[in-house]
């Protein structure tokens, strides 16, 4: 990668927008499995159905609405906070601090923000586990999005209004190709974190037209970008 070209582009960047899960830390099968189990459990209890049917509902609502919680709101009038409070009671012990990433984030000029489809309190807990809370100026969660998840364009616009930022002055990092695609469409500079195999299968990566830059690891990318020896 020619970091000299990217460095020139970054002269206009004032805002650094980061997805949370599988972006600020490596993809975690343990976290994903916990969350999937708790989602199924919640659906079973709320809709009085068995686990197999709950799994079908979970996948159907995710595909149809972009987030299971939004489907439960629309189809069953479930209070979204009730769902997110239950689902995000996770054991985060597998998430470890990353001092190199913290050093990189501290060196970046401008404001840093979290933009996640997860719950606000989940974002706070993950940032605390990573010891990165002080690096970020704000969190935009599924709650602030009125439970309309990425990649809905209206949610990106709501996020930018919330933080009072302009797309041409902003860059976004995300592990989901469809999330990156919306970001690029509305004018943000984009970096796809391509290490998430689950997300990768949903996008053709031959051309990578949906993103400006791609890296399998955020820390390596930022370290190289900030290095005096980067080409």
Domains along the chain with CATH numbers = 3-26+97-226 (3.40.50.1000), 30-87 (1.10.150.450)
Residue 66 is predicted with a pLDDT of 87
Residue 21's SS3 state is: coil
CB 214 within 8 A of CB 180: no
**What value, to the nearest 5°, has the Cα angle with vertex 193 and ends 202 and 83?**
70
For residues 179 and 116, give the distance between their C-alpha atoms in angstroms, rounded to a whole number: 10
CB 101 within 8 A of CB 126: no
Q: How sure is the predictor about 227, in pLDDT bands with cuts at 50, 70 and 90?
A: confident
The helix-helix angle for 29-47 and 80-87 (nearest 10°) equals 140
User: Considering just the CA atoms, what is the radius of gyration of the chain in Å?
Assistant: 18
Q: Which among 190, 216, 146, 219 has a CA at the least distance from the CA of 17? A: 190
Asked if residue 66 has a cis previous peptide bond (ω within 30° of 0), the answer is no
What are the pLDDT digits (tens) for 193-214? 998 755 554 454 444 678 999 9
Dump strand ranges (E) for the chain. 15-18, 111-115, 138-140, 170-174, 189-193, 213-215
Number of Cβ within 10 Å of residue 198's Cβ equals 12
Residue 197 is predicted with a pLDDT of 59
Q: How sure is the predictor about 231, in pLDDT bands with cuts at 50, 70 and 90?
A: very low
Residue 195 is predicted with a pLDDT of 87
For residues 38 and 82, give the distance between their C-alpha atoms in angstroms, rounded to a whole number: 12
Rounded mean pLDDT of 18-23?
A: 96
Rounded mean pLDDT of 128-157?
A: 97
Six-digit token string for 51: 């686990």
């Amino acid at each position: 990668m020619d970091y000299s070209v990217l460095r020139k582009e970054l002269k206009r960047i004032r805002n650094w927008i980061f997805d949370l899960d599988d972006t600020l830390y490596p993809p975690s099968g343990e976290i994903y499995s916990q969350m999937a189990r708790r989602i199924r459990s919640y659906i079973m209890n709320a809709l009085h159905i068995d686990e197999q049917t709950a799994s079908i509902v979970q996948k159907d609502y995710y595909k149809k609405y972009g987030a299971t919680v939004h489907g439960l709101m629309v189809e069953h009038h479930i209070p979204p906070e009730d769902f997110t409070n239950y689902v995000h009671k996770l054991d985060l012990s597998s998430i470890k601090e990353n001092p190199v990433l913290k050093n990189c984030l501290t060196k970046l000029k401008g404001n840093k923000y979290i933009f996640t489809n997860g719950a606000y309190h989940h974002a706070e807990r993950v940032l605390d586990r990573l010891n990165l809370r002080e690096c970020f100026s704000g969190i935009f969660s599924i709650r602030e999005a009125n439970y309309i998840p990425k990649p809905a364009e209206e949610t990106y616009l709501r996020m930018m209004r919330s933080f009072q930022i302009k797309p041409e002055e902003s860059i976004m990092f995300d592990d989901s190709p469809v999330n990156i695609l919306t970001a690029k469409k509305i004018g943000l500079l984009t970096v796809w974190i391509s290490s998430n195999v689950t997300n990768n299968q949903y996008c053709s990566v031959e051309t990578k037209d949906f993103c400006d830059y791609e890296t399998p690891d955020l820390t390596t990318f930022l370290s190289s970008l900030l290095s005096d020896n980067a080409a």
